[in-house]
Structure 1
Amino acid sequence: MSYPEGAYGDVFRRMEESGFDFDKEHIVDIHAVFATETEADRIALMFVADSDVDQYVNIETKPYDEGGMELTLSKKMLVTYDAVCQLEDLLAERVSLVDGYLDGWGVMQQ
């Protein structure tokens, strides 16, 4: 498959080279960090309120090692470049409402 140039394209190329199974659903974890628990909870509640909340297998806030609070969204999905970018775009849009930043995503290769 052909992926765009850049960090995500590189990640997907490496996943493909390592034999990642893109044909089955996996749990993707995406992270954001916030200055306060209130901000992290505010964004977490937006995802809880989504009508399709069942797609998330976990929505969790916890203290971040370097200070502040971390939000982790865990979503069961087909891992495609577009799907990961769409999830990240939604989180980025919501994070922009408060003092926070995206802190990456990951998926376990089984």
Structure 2
Amino acid sequence: MQFPDDDNGQMLQAMQDAGMDLSQALVVDFFLVFAEQRDAESALEDLTAAAEHEVELNFNEDIDKWEITASVKMVPGYDAIVAKETALNDFAMQFDGMTDGWGVMQHQDGDEFAGDDEHECDEHCHY
């Protein structure tokens, strides 16, 4: 599958090249950043009330901003990613924030190695 030559397309291409099945729903984390804690907390409250996302608020020391991670289980198609990112950016702007990209965890539900990083295979391993 080919993707547009932009940041989203390049990310999806990298995921596909890494062997991820992009036809299956994955948990996609969208990042919203805010300079002020009160703005981030207000946005978090509205996102939590909408119940469409799993959300988490942290202070990101690397960028010196408050960051909301909004996790959405979705099939990561290009158009769906762009639409969700645009909608979240419009939302964040209401609170003087903006989106700052998206990503997925390497291991997702159903991965055979998820949660077992200490496993060591031997000659009889079925992993």
- How would you bin the TM-score normalised by the shorter chain? 0.7 to 0.9
Structure 2 alignment gaps of length 5 or more: 108-127
- State the Cα deviation string for residues 5-24 of structure 1 (Å, max 9, x = none): 21211221222222211122
- Counterpart-to-counterpart distance in 1, 2:65 and 2:18: 35
The answer to whether structure 1 residue 106 and structure 2 residue 116 are counterparts is no
Give the structure 2 partner of residue 48 of structure 1.
48
Alignment of 1:77-88 (within 5 A): 77-88=74-85
For these two proteins, the number of residue pairs brought into alignment is 106
Give the structure 1 partner of residue 18 of structure 2.
18
TM-score by length of 1: 0.83
TM-score by length of 2: 0.73
Structure 1 alignment gaps of length 5 or more: none
Indicate the structure whose relative CO is greater, using CA pairs within 8 Å and at least 6 residues apart. 1
Greater per-residue helix proportion: 1
Give the 4+ runs in structure 1 shifted more than 3 A. Answer: none
The answer to whether structure 1 residue 34 and structure 2 residue 30 are counterparts is no
CA RMSD of aligned residues (A): 1.7
* 1:37 shift after superposition: 1.5
Give the structure 1 partner of residue 113 of structure 2.
none
